[in-house]
Chains A and B, each alone.
Chain A
Amino acid sequence: MLIKLTGGTVYDPASGVDGQQQDIYIQDGRIVKKPTETIQVDKEYDLNGKIVMSGAIDMHTHIGGGKVNIARTLLPEDHRHDPVLRTDITRSGCGHATPSTFVTGYRYAEMGYTAGFEPAILPINALQAHMEMADIPILDKGGYVMLGSDDYLLRMLTAKKDQKAINDYVAWTMQSAKAIGVKVVNPGGINAFKFNQRKLDLDEQNAHYGVTPRDILQVLATAVKEIGVPHPLHVHGCNLGVPGNMQTTLDTIQGIGGLPMHLTHIQFHSYGTEGDFKFSSGAAQIAEAINKNKNITIDVGQILFGQTVTASGDSMRQHANHKFASPNKWVTMDIECDAGCGVVPFKYKDKNFVNALQWAIGLETFLLVNDPWRIFLTTDHPNGAPFTSYPHLIRLLMDRSFRNEVLSTIHPEAQKMTTLASIEREYTLQEIAIMTRAGAAKLIGLKDRGGLSAGNWADITVYTGNADRQRMFEKPDYVFKDGQLVVVDGKVVSTKWGTTHTIKPDFDPSVEKDLKDYFDRYLTMKMGNFKISDDEITEDGRGSITVHPLRS
């Protein structure tokens, strides 16, 4: 079947196409070159006057795994406000802060997204993350495996194992957990919390291991680079949410010594201590550091006002933040000598000084970082806001007068503490396409996604231009996933199953000798039962695994 998308205005930063009128051809799920005249077009869509981008990719969204399901279970009252009915082609479920898996897929697709990446997969809980994501329709998915608070790595560091041994362990863990990236959360801090440490600065030692977060970042960032993981080490830094943590973030950037590093939800790590409330924006200094250090990429973790729930691997900081829980209930877990998690419901209020300034700090960050290839649009779903608020966020970025209108309604002291009103920048469509498509695919290392040139999979979103960018982005005319039309006028019209994106970095098989001994002595399952086999993802006939090339 040959499909032709005729005459759309194409924004495809991956090929340097910026708003040119182009035809796109789709065959067998992929975009193909213009076929010879003799081949008949089976289906043509007239896209004259429409805007065409590839399907959007959310490179950091908590959509699968234990803490997400704890968040769901914790908040039945949130689901009751947003029941989702079954239809002939879609399953029932619930929405709002942590939607059910099926609804997650539908709602992402209905916004023009075709892939989402779970950024915090605990190795021991990786199976659950994949099983949940296997029940998310339409979207492609993948995940970053969490290391850095696992006792195995910390023991290696204490034992002064060399970098090669650590590389083997990281590569082995990635393969075992079917990951495409590596994440570190509060490096060593989740582990330190188990030893009753309640804070851990960049150069503070773990009470048991004597290892610092700086040490952990260094070996993991090196490992990720040396074993050829395309996605730089994905870092949720120390001191999340602590006033003054801007300095920690600047020190983290400085300390990594030029290695590739992705700082995630940086908004939560960009706080100063100035002003009457001893809480201020560090966005300008952070943005300056990002602009200067080309090895650094970030996503923002924008907060937007309203009820949500925060779900994080950072048990240490989440426990400290439980006093802000709204409603007042929360969960902290220590997990399997591997990691931990904390789930705390939050209600961000525009009339609360801190929340209002958090909102402004995120936007300042977006607007002050110059290179859209190194910054990504996230709310750290659901931690800053549910992913369904992305169209609103895009409007805030693309429409200065709208932004200033909202700014004028937030806590007055917060208005005084932000430079937002004076920032003139408005994001262009091409910059949005970079942040949410081409840049994200490049950052993760997806070889044939995020672009519209021939050879790419046909993940395509078509919008009707609208000065109100929120309206434009919340209701695409068409969404194609692997060439299949899945959304028309912002509603799912058919469903399919996406693939699971992974990489397979090499390791020395002898790494399993020490691991097997460790599993037998200290853990609760056999090493052989820990490794996720391919058939666990594919056996139900819906899942598939896509292995992407390593960085050479």
Chain B
Amino acid sequence: MTEITEVPSPFCGIGTDDLTIRVDGVSLKVMENGCAVNTPAFEQAITDTCPRVDGKEVSLDVAIATAAALLKDTRLPVIGGCATDVNGMRGLLALADRCGAVVDNMNFTGARNNFLALQDSGWINTTLAEVKNRCDLLLVVGTDLEAFAPRFFERYLWNKEAMFLDDTRHREVIYLGKAPSGDASTSPSGQKARILACATEDLPEVVAVLRALVKGQPIRAASVCGIAVADLQAIVDKFKAARYSVVTWAAGALSYRQAELTVQTLSEMIKDINDQNTRCSGLPLAGKEGDQTANQVCGWTTGYPARTRFSRGYPEYDPFLNDTNLLLANGEADALVWVQAFNVNSVAPATSLPTIVVGRSGMTFAKEPDVFIPVGTPGIDHAGHAYRTDNVVAIRLKKLRDSGLPSTAHVLNAIEQAL
């Protein structure tokens, strides 16, 4: 039995790297600095260690050969999930390039809200250490931040010391849209977050008014979607008085059609504030289940984010048409590879197509896939790298135990070689 300290987590997206984990054989227990997201993800028990073909246990070599045979004559295989580490994504993209597959990260429909805004007009963003040391006003839009990342406030807002703030307890937090599920946003001195609640799907209207007020446009209405315009004006006044305000949102939480326009309005509003003699930055929230990792690695390998197809021999990005669910529903795909090394509960979409699952040990299936290869989890069973939410920092994941489970990269490279 050993205890490992300073363990980085690939699960929470905010790069916590101060966990203490007790390792007893192959079972893990989070001893310090766990949270509702990280603790169960680390402690998930290993079940399968043996690959299966048609539900029967086989050797890894046989499973790889079978997977390669299934993919050999496909016309449009889809590689979904894409939840793995940097080396896993490298292997995944090499395989996709080889067999002309579609690569589609499972969180892309949410992330698309950010990519469409980025690729149309851009943004001004910041990273977690800047938040920790500079942020004097945080606006949380449409997102239950503490449910998303339970330790966000503790680590990045209510830190005892900040280089450029006299007293971190005086930071202001304002929620727009969704109200928080707990009290993590209440400052250590008891100051509660201001909450301007509205329905999530009303955010486009509310955010549009907020930006108009930032630009000094007259608003005749007294309220918008139940929020008093005077209250929105108060936010604008705070933005202008703040030295380094931050606006944060989780693109996936903006779960209504054309939410990219909300992200764009927010991002343009942030640019406007920077033209009014102060600083303001955005902080998109993501980094779950390897989503930022998938987009980064696919980005440097192909030029495009992780919803890209190789079916014509070169990468083609389409944020709508390359959606796994759409390709399965329309009968365009002819095989599915599901790669998910982080989360046993994230299973492949139901399909009658030949299915290969390269998944975290512990996964259970309503319908047994043609091939199941249990793999290790990056940051537990093998070392690796994962990007956190701010997309700048790739954290070095540690190997914590000897489970004998292969890495995603090992498996996908072997399938590619077999082709």
Among A122, A127, A334, A526, chain B packs the most CB atoms within 10 A around the CB of A334
Among the listed A101, A334, A337, which residue makes an inter-chain contact with B281, where contact means beta carbons less than 8 Å apart? A334
Among the listed B122, B126, B129, B301, which residue makes an inter-chain contact with A102, where contact means beta carbons less than 8 Å apart? B301
Per-residue B-contact encoding for A314-350, CB less than 8 Å = 1, 0 else = 0000010000010011111111111000010000000
Among the listed A75, A101, A194, which residue makes an inter-chain contact with B130, where contact means beta carbons less than 8 Å apart? A194
From 505 to 547 in chain A, residues with beta carbon under 8 angstroms from any chain B beta carbon are: 521-526, 528-529, 532-533, 535-536, 539-540
Asked whether, in the complex, the Cβ of B94 is within 8 Å of the Cβ of A91, the reply is: yes
Q: Besides A151-B133, A208-B164, 4 other CB < 8 A contacts? A: A127-B385, A335-B127, A337-B163, A526-B18
B313 to chain A: closest residue by CB: A85
Asked whether, in the complex, the Cβ of A128 is within 8 Å of the Cβ of B304, the reply is: no
From 72 to 106 in chain B, residues with beta carbon under 8 angstroms from any chain A beta carbon are: 86-87, 90, 94, 97
- B305 proximal to A (CB < 8 A): yes
Asked whether, in the complex, the Cβ of A524 is within 8 Å of the Cβ of B314, the reply is: no
- B296 proximal to A (CB < 8 A): yes
Among the listed A98, A334, A526, which residue makes an inter-chain contact with B126, where contact means beta carbons less than 8 Å apart? A334
- Tell me the bound Cα distance from A68 to B6 in angstroms: 30
- A306 proximal to B (CB < 8 A): no
Asked whether, in the complex, the Cβ of A329 is within 8 Å of the Cβ of B121, the reply is: yes
Asked whether, in the complex, the Cβ of B394 is within 8 Å of the Cβ of A128, the reply is: yes
- Tell me the bound Cα distance from A105 to B134 in angstroms: 40
B277 to chain A: closest residue by CB: A196
Per-residue B-contact encoding for A57-93, CB less than 8 Å = 1, 0 else = 0000000101011001111100100011110000111
Given A127-B396, A151-B163, A331-B124, A522 and B129 contact (CB-CB distance below 8 Å) = yes
Asked whether, in the complex, the Cβ of A86 is within 8 Å of the Cβ of B97, the reply is: yes
Q: Separation in Å of the A93 CB from the closest CB of chain B?
A: 6
The main secondary structure of chain B at its interface with chain A is mixed
Per-residue A-contact encoding for B260-304, CB less than 8 Å = 1, 0 else = 000000000000001001110100000000000001100111111
B123 to chain A: closest residue by CB: A331
Per-residue B-contact encoding for A119-150, CB less than 8 Å = 1, 0 else = 00010110110011001000000000000000
- B395 proximal to A (CB < 8 A): yes
- B383 proximal to A (CB < 8 A): yes
Asked whether, in the complex, the Cβ of A101 is within 8 Å of the Cβ of B300, the reply is: yes
Asked whether, in the complex, the Cβ of A76 is within 8 Å of the Cβ of B303, the reply is: yes
Given A131-B86, A132-B300, A337 and B17 contact (CB-CB distance below 8 Å) = no
- Tell me the bound Cα distance from A44 to B63 in angstroms: 46
A-B interface contact total, Cβ < 8 Å? 188
- B412 proximal to A (CB < 8 A): no
- Tell me the bound Cα distance from A124 to B388 in angstroms: 12
- A283 proximal to B (CB < 8 A): no
Among B112-120, B136-144, B249-257, B331-339, which stretch is in contact with chain A?
A: B112-120
From 2 to 19 in chain B, residues with beta carbon under 8 angstroms from any chain A beta carbon are: 6, 8, 15, 17-18
- A182 proximal to B (CB < 8 A): no
16 A-B pairs, CB-CB below 8 angstroms?
A: A72-B304, A73-B299, A83-B315, A86-B310, A93-B314, A124-B392, A135-B301, A333-B124, A334-B130, A336-B127, A336-B392, A336-B393, A522-B129, A522-B133, A524-B127, A529-B396
- Tell me the bound Cα distance from A98 to B317 in angstroms: 16
- B342 proximal to A (CB < 8 A): no
Asked whether, in the complex, the Cβ of B301 is within 8 Å of the Cβ of A101, the reply is: yes
- Tell me the bound Cα distance from A334 to B274 in angstroms: 13
- Tell me the bound Cα distance from A91 to B394 in angstroms: 25
Q: Which residues of B contact A73 (CB under 8 A)?
A: 115, 118-119, 295, 299, 304-305
Q: Separation in Å of the B171 CB from the closest CB of chain A?
A: 15
- B125 proximal to A (CB < 8 A): yes
Asked whether, in the complex, the Cβ of A329 is within 8 Å of the Cβ of B393, the reply is: no
Among B119, B281, B300, chain A packs the most CB atoms within 10 A around the CB of B300
- B192 proximal to A (CB < 8 A): no
Asked whether, in the complex, the Cβ of A525 is within 8 Å of the Cβ of B392, the reply is: no
B163 to chain A: closest residue by CB: A522
- B32 proximal to A (CB < 8 A): no
Q: Which residues of B contact A535 (CB under 8 A)?
A: 383
- Tell me the bound Cα distance from A83 to B309 in angstroms: 12
- Tell me the bound Cα distance from A24 to B296 in angstroms: 43
- A99 proximal to B (CB < 8 A): yes
Q: Which residues of B contact A337 (CB under 8 A)?
A: 129-130, 133, 163
B14 to chain A: closest residue by CB: A524
- A287 proximal to B (CB < 8 A): no
The main secondary structure of chain A at its interface with chain B is mixed
Asked whether, in the complex, the Cβ of B17 is within 8 Å of the Cβ of A100, the reply is: no
- Tell me the bound Cα distance from A128 to B300 in angstroms: 10
- Tell me the bound Cα distance from A338 to B115 in angstroms: 25
Pick the 4 closest A-B CB pairs, nearest first: A94-B303, A83-B314, A79-B303, A336-B129
Please report the total number of A residues contacting B with Cβ < 8 Å: 66
Asked whether, in the complex, the Cβ of B302 is within 8 Å of the Cβ of A93, the reply is: yes
Among the listed B87, B90, B300, B315, which residue makes an inter-chain contact with A69, where contact means beta carbons less than 8 Å apart? B300
A154 to chain B: closest residue by CB: B163
B267 to chain A: closest residue by CB: A331
Asked whether, in the complex, the Cβ of A196 is within 8 Å of the Cβ of B303, the reply is: no
- Tell me the bound Cα distance from A43 to B35 in angstroms: 63
- Tell me the bound Cα distance from A68 to B317 in angstroms: 18
From 271 to 328 in chain A, residues with beta carbon under 8 angstroms from any chain B beta carbon are: 319, 325, 328
- B162 proximal to A (CB < 8 A): yes
- Tell me the bound Cα distance from A74 to B151 in angstroms: 31
Among the listed B90, B155, B295, B315, which residue makes an inter-chain contact with A93, where contact means beta carbons less than 8 Å apart? B315
- Tell me the bound Cα distance from A194 to B243 in angstroms: 9
Q: Which residues of B contact A532 (CB under 8 A)?
A: 396
Asked whether, in the complex, the Cβ of A72 is within 8 Å of the Cβ of B299, the reply is: yes
Asked whether, in the complex, the Cβ of A92 is within 8 Å of the Cβ of B97, the reply is: yes
Q: Which residues of B contact A521 (CB under 8 A)?
A: 161
B93 to chain A: closest residue by CB: A91
A131 to chain B: closest residue by CB: B86
Asked whether, in the complex, the Cβ of A333 is within 8 Å of the Cβ of B243, the reply is: no
Asked whether, in the complex, the Cβ of B296 is within 8 Å of the Cβ of A128, the reply is: yes
- B391 proximal to A (CB < 8 A): yes
Q: Which residues of A contact B156 (CB under 8 A)?
A: 524
- Tell me the bound Cα distance from A403 to B127 in angstroms: 46
B409 to chain A: closest residue by CB: A540
Asked whether, in the complex, the Cβ of A335 is within 8 Å of the Cβ of B278, the reply is: no
- Tell me the bound Cα distance from A85 to B162 in angstroms: 50
Among the listed B97, B126, B394, which residue makes an inter-chain contact with A127, where contact means beta carbons less than 8 Å apart? B394
Q: Separation in Å of the B408 CB from the closest CB of chain A?
A: 13
- Tell me the bound Cα distance from A233 to B392 in angstroms: 25
A78 to chain B: closest residue by CB: B303
- B175 proximal to A (CB < 8 A): no
Asked whether, in the complex, the Cβ of A100 is within 8 Å of the Cβ of B302, the reply is: yes
- Tell me the bound Cα distance from A521 to B162 in angstroms: 8
- Tell me the bound Cα distance from A93 to B128 in angstroms: 32
- Tell me the bound Cα distance from A252 to B244 in angstroms: 31
Q: Which residues of A contact B274 (CB under 8 A)?
A: 319
- Tell me the bound Cα distance from A83 to B392 in angstroms: 27
Q: Which residues of B contact A325 (CB under 8 A)?
A: 122
Q: Which residues of A contact B315 (CB under 8 A)?
A: 79, 83, 92-94, 100
